[in-house]
C-alpha cells in the first residue's frame, strides 16, 4: 500500500471519529445520574462541568471522576482517547477528608 493511500485512510478514520457522538453518564454516590452527549473528540472537561452544573450542592472542583472504577478522568482527554463507547459510565466520588494514620493505629 502506498504512503499516500495510508495517509488518506488515516484521515478518513479521523473524520469518522469526529462525527461519532457518544452519550456519557456520570453517577454519584447519592444516586444522581447526569447524562451528557458529545462528540468523541471533545474534551471530557465538558462532562465534568455538566455534572457540577446539575449538582450545585457538590461544589465545583472537589471530587474524583473514575472510568471503569479505576482510571482517573482527566479533563483534557477525549472519549476517543479512552475508547469510551456510547453509554459509558463515569463514577463520581466526593473528596474524602482525612485518611491519615495515627501512631495508635499501628499494629
CA distances (Å), origin 52, targets 36, 40, 64, 79: 12, 21, 12, 19
Instruction: For 31-41, write each residue's pLDDT tens digit.
Output: 999 999 999 98
Query: How far is the C-alpha of 68 from the C-alpha of 85, rounded, in Å?
Result: 12
Q: What is the mean pLDDT of residues 77-82?
A: 91
pLDDT given at position 1: 72
**Domains of the chain, each with CATH number or no CATH:** 19-93 (3.10.20.90)
Burial of 20 (0-12, 13-18, 19+ CB in 10 A): middle
Q: What is the pLDDT of residue 47?
A: 95
Amino acid at each position: 500500500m502506498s504512503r499516500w493511500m495510508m495517509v488518506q485512510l488515516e484521515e478518513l478514520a479521523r473524520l469518522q471519529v469526529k462525527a461519532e457522538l457518544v452519550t456519557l453518564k456520570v453517577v454519584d454516590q447519592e444516586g444522581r445520574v447526569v447524562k451528557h452527549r458529545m462528540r468523541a473528540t471533545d474534551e471530557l472537561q465538558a462532562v465534568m462541568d455538566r455534572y457540577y452544573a446539575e449538582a450545585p450542592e457538590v461544589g465545583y472542583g472537589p471530587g474524583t471522576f473514575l472510568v471503569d472504577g479505576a482510571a482517573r478522568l482527566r479533563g483534557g482527554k477525549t472519549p476517543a482517547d479512552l475508547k469510551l463507547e456510547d453509554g459509558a459510565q463515569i463514577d463520581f466520588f466526593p473528596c474524602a477528608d482525612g485518611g491519615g494514620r495515627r501512631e495508635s493505629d499501628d499494629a
